[in-house]
Amino acid sequence: MDGGGGAVASDASHFAAHRDALLADGYSIMPDALDPALCDEVVAEFGRMQGVWRRALVQSFHGRRTTRYFDLLNAAPIFQSIPIAPRVLGVVRATLGDDCLLGTYGSVSIGPGEPAQMIHADDSLYQIPRQHPVFYVNVILALGEFTAANGATRLVPGSHAWDHYPEAGKAYETIAAEMPKGGALFTLGSIYHGGGANLTASEVRHGMTVAYVANWVRPQENFQAAVAQERAATFDPELQALMGWRLGPTHVGHTYAAEQHWTGPLAAKVALKRDFAF
């Protein structure tokens, strides 16, 4: 018996295949990233949040008929499991490194009648001249089936290799990233994309976006400030690490704070306890 080593090797090969497709094509689709039962539980939680949790980004770019929830690590415990879903995190870490960080995390429920989102690239947030090293991976999770009719994400093939950012309002030729419930669309931050139009009469396209960045990039959301250390201390250590509560091999993100100045139960995780040299 190999003690499960064969399964580990198989997973690593699977993750590497998605990483290679992601780097070559700017995107990769995994049809079975999440258990469909988990997807149903998350959608049910959205129902409980309606009218209670703050609906964010209600405007033209993000959609007026699209419901988006953020601050999810302060919401129901089920949301703690999504960023560390093994099949998702395996591909992301194969692409960005084991010390990558959670960049931003929210829900996206595109309602009937929502027009297509303007084509954009996520890396434009950082205004780094293209082409640049890979530092951003966005994962769009299908909590129900994504179809061309209900708003599946639109992609501009090959655009991840272009040396310029998209022109606002320009029409681009796109393809629909259709996938089943539980599927994951991995995209590089450099690929042009946008939410599709929901042309259905009554079907809501439920999804989530979980973006990750390399450890040398400032995350879009400051999760260390957003979630109290006392709460974050109860999280899985892998989620804590994604929030920045673990030092990488070069100690980026450390503090020199003495123990009497530690600000909470997780402060010791990023306190530099010995000198280091390059």
> Amino acid identity of 29?
I
What is the average pLDDT across 246-265? 90
pLDDT tens for residues 40-74? 999 999 999 999 999 887 787 787 899 999 999 99
pLDDT of residue 3: 36
Percent of the chain with pLDDT over 90: 86
Instruction: Report the mean per-residue pLDDT for the chain.
Output: 93
Q: In degrees, to the nearest 5, what angle opens at C-alpha 83 toward C-alphas 152 and 174? A: 20
The superfamily in CATH containing domain 21-237 is: q2cbj1_9rhob like domain (2.60.120.620)
Q: Is the dihedral of CA 150, 151, 152, 155 positive or negative?
A: positive
Cα distances (angstroms) measured from residue 79 to each of 84, 101, 110, 246:
10, 16, 19, 20
**Least reliable range by pLDDT among 1-10, 76-85, 183-192:** 1-10
pLDDT score at 169:
86
pLDDT at residue 276 in the model: 62
Segment among 46-60, 123-137, 208-222 with least mean pLDDT: 46-60
Domains of the chain by residue range: 21-237, 247-278
